[in-house]
A and B are shown apart, each in its own frame.
Chain A
Amino acid sequence: NAGVTQTPKFQVLKTGQSMTLQCAQDMNHNSMYWYRQDPGMGLRLIYYSASEGTTDKGEVPNGYNVSRLNKREFSLRLESAAPSQTSVYFCASSERLAGGLEQFFGPGTRLTVL
């Protein structure tokens, strides 16, 4: 049981390049999330998917797109990377959106945009 996995672990991009961060979970969870973590700002929600086939904006969605490919996979795409998107990105999943259910986090992707 791997839990939540993310690829890649590290990535360096030049301004304007695009890339997709991959996330998969094997816990049969309905809900998945993408966060970014910046020093002194905690984690901020970028996008989330309450269930397969749905996606919604979080607190900081500008510059990102997401795809809920199937129940297991939720990808985050940067179409034209900017230095302000340098951050650590975490994917998470939970059994469902509502209720006091724990979110399980992946190991993170450290992205640097030059």
Chain B
Amino acid sequence: AQSVSQHNHHVILSEAASLELGCNYSYGGTVNLFWYVQYPGQHLQLLLKYFSGDPLVKGIKGFEAEFIKSKFSFNLRKPSVQWSDTAEYFCAVKNTGKLIFGQGTTLQVKP
């Protein structure tokens, strides 16, 4: 069965620090990849997505992610985090129409 693994469960950073959240998936075929964010008390929102083409995708709020097919990875990055980035981040893989989510990473940014 497909699975998605997020290695960091809880990350604490200071403002202006760089962020990289790891995501690996198990499926070897064609996949669509997503990062969703859940701000405190809010519902999930799409940060960015990869379908095909350029493996470096840019999303909202300065986030980007790189799809590395050989490593089955889709890591999320941001050069300089802000306090408002405090949230839970979910990586997801879509195959046969259904999303498979990772366990989530809680990011806490200290002002």
Interface residues of A (CB under 8 A from B): 4, 31, 33, 35, 40-45, 48, 50, 58, 90, 92, 96-100, 102-103, 105-108
Contacts and interface: CB of A to CB of B under 8 A. Distances in A.
Contact of B98 (A58, A102, A108): A58
Residue among A41, A43, A97, A108 with max Cβ neighbours from chain B (10 Å): A43
Interface residues of B, number: 24
20 contacts: A4-B43, A31-B97, A33-B99, A40-B9, A40-B104, A42-B6, A42-B90, A42-B103, A42-B104, A43-B99, A43-B101, A48-B98, A50-B97, A90-B43, A92-B44, A97-B98, A99-B32, A99-B97, A100-B49, A108-B43
Interface of B: 4, 6, 9, 32, 34, 36, 42-46, 49-51, 90, 94, 96-99, 101-104
Contacts, number: 52
A41 B36 CA distance: 15
B42 A107 contact: yes
